[in-house]
Every structure is written in C-alpha cells, then in structure tokens.
Amino acid sequence: MNTYTASEERYSQMQYRRCGKSGIMLPLISLGLWHNFGDRDDFENARSILRTAFDNGITHFDLANNYGPPYGTAEKNFGKIFKEDFKQYRDELLISTKAGWDMWPGPYGNFGSRKYLIASLDQSLQRMGLDYVDIFYHHRPDPDTPLEETMGALDQIVRQGKALYVGVSQYSADETDRAAELLKKQGTPFLIHQPRYNMLDRWVENGLLDTLGREGIGSIVFSPLEQGILTSKYLDGIPADSRAAIEGGYLDKDKITPALVEKLKKLNVLAESRGQSLAQMAITWLLKDHRISSVLVGVSKVSQLEDNITGLKNLTFSPEEIENIESILKQE
C-alpha cells in the first residue's frame, strides 16, 4: 500500500463559494460517489479519483446509503480509502450522505420516517468508519410521512452529534419553504439543497432558486452533464460504451434524438469559441448563478475530473453568449 500525502498546493487553484448564508465554503466542484465506487468497480481507480480531487482542492465528497452497486458499497469502499488516505485530513473535509430511497426490505427501509433516517445514518457511519458526517440529507420528499416527523428526525440527528448540518434533495420550492420553517423553529442549521439541474433540466428555475436565495440556503446541483449528454460523447451518435447503449441503464437511448444532437453540436461550437469543452461550459454555465454554491460531478476517470477542474479557468459569460445558449436550447 502506498502511503498518501496530499499535495501542498491543494488550495492554490480551487475557488470556493459560500454556502447560502452559512459559515461553510464549498469548492466550486464537489465529487459525487454515485457511480464508480461500488464493489463492481475498480477500487484503485476510485482511490485515484479521490486523491486527485483532494490534491486539487476538492474538499467535499458526497455519498448516499444506496450508492454502489450493491447498495452501501460506495460508503464501505470510501470508508476503506478514508481510513488509509484521508483520516489525517478529516478536519479539511466535508463528507455528506443521504437516506430516502429504498435501502432494506420491509416497511422501515425507505422514505422519510424518523426510524428509517436515524437507523440509516447509523449504518452509514459504521460503513464509513466516521463519528459524524458534515451534512446529512433527506434524499427525496416523502408524500406520506408528515414533514414535521422528517424534519424532527434531522433535528435529532444534529443534536445527537451525528451530523453538523442537514439538507434536502429534490424538494420543491413549497416543500423547501415548509422544511425551512420547521427547522428554523427547532434551531437546526438547514445548510443546503441538492437538486438536479443542468442546461436541459431547469425545473429549479421555477421558484426553488428564489426560495433558496430568500432563505439563505445553499445549493449543490447534481447531474450537471445530464448523465453525459452534455459532453462530446453523443455528437456523432451513441457510442457502444456509453450509458445510453446499456439496456436498462440510467440513460434511455431514445433521449438522444436528432434534434437534441443538433443542439449539442451548436453548443459545442460555442464552447470551443470560449476555449472550453462542452462539458466544461455546461458546468461553468451553472456557476454563473451565485445561488449555486457548488456543482457535484461524477467521474469514471481521473482525466475527466481534471478536465472539469480545468474548465473553472473561464467562469465569465458575456450577455451575447448567454443569449446564444438560450436561443440554442429553445430550438425545437
């Protein structure tokens, strides 16, 4: 086993942004462990990705109880790497996890009950070998459990010292408003919202970002590249090794229509005029709005992560570029 020592230059390039009105600063790019960290993946590749991230100032690693596959294995493998590589840097790291999707059989392993959330976090801490996480999220809204119970569980988790902050994911603007009110009454820090957001999926613009700005809640957006669509990968069809080519995978190949490919080609030309790849432009386009605290990326290779980081060198968009992007996205 090679002993890891973090780069002494790790904070020299990365930029950080305040998370809402909190005391927390997040790197503009954070690393998500949804894919590529489970038992079916290459362990040493996962370790290299994490090391590269931290060496480049990415201090935030984001997990969930059901990341793998199989469920739980991303946390388990992260725990092994943390113990060997990152334990000495614990106070420089922000580690988050979540619960809200199906995790174990029976009525207590899903959604948003107090029993499920607290039991799940206990299991997550055990898998990762941590005393606490920095952020614990409710992973999705629960239509049946009273929001008072779910937010009460998050409050209890903070008071137990198992998490420093709490957040939610995929809550609507109205649900976020209600959650913020409940947590405020309990005196629990509602740090952050994790919504899906990218050039092709813009639901957060219908009120949610306004709510977050008004309440002083940060946001970290996931799926910035729409499962790889907003890259150069699909400019000439569907590659055999792509997510869209996998039957029953996370990306339906029917989404890659000729009209969409034409949009991607035009966006790619605009990105090249900025000295960026399409993926780099898609990430920096999100960061033009300062209500976005950080962009969560998932990568399968070190080179992809390095490319994403390099894109941060050009964060400025001219009014003409914004107008051109909007015009391309609106084309039928």
pLDDT at 244 over 70: no
Q: Alpha-carbon distance 31 to 220, whole Å?
A: 11
User: Average model confidence (pLDDT) for the chain?
Assistant: 95
pLDDT single digits (tens) 31-41: 999 999 999 99
Mean pLDDT, rounded, for 270-285: 98
pLDDT single digits (tens) 285-298: 999 999 999 999 99
pLDDT score recorded for residue 75: 98
The Cβ of residue 306 has, within 10 Å, a number of other Cβ atoms equal to: 14
pLDDT score recorded for residue 54: 98
Mean pLDDT, rounded, for 178-197: 97
Comparing 90-94, 212-216, 237-241, the range with the smallest average pLDDT is 237-241
Beta strand extents in 256-309 (DSSP E only): 294-297
- Give the predicted TM-score (pTM) of the model: 0.95
Q: Is 290 helix (H, G, I), strand (E, B) or coil?
A: coil
Consecutive H or E run containing 330: helix 319-330
Mean pLDDT, rounded, for 171-197: 97
Q: List residues bridging with 164 in a β-sheet.
A: none
Q: Alpha-carbon distance 259 to 329, whole Å?
A: 11
pLDDT score recorded for residue 228: 92
pLDDT single digits (tens) 1-29: 568 999 999 999 999 999 999 999 999 99
Nearest CA-CA partner of 56 in 306, 286, 314, 287: 306
Q: In the numeric block, which tokens belong to residue 40?
A: 């079916």
The Cβ of residue 64 has, within 10 Å, a number of other Cβ atoms equal to: 26
Q: Alpha-carbon distance 276 to 250, whole Å?
A: 26
Q: Which domains does the chain have, with CATH numbers?
A: 16-228+286-313 (3.20.20.100)
Q: Alpha-carbon distance 295 to 54, whole Å?
A: 15
Residue-wise over 261-291: b if at least 16 C-beta within 10 A, else e? bebbebbbeebeebebbbbbbbbbbbbeeeb
pLDDT score recorded for residue 246: 59
C-alpha dihedral (297, 300, 302, 305), degrees to nearest 10: -20
Q: Alpha-carbon distance 65 to 276, whole Å?
A: 35
pLDDT score recorded for residue 141: 98
pLDDT at 251 over 80: no
pLDDT score recorded for residue 253: 72
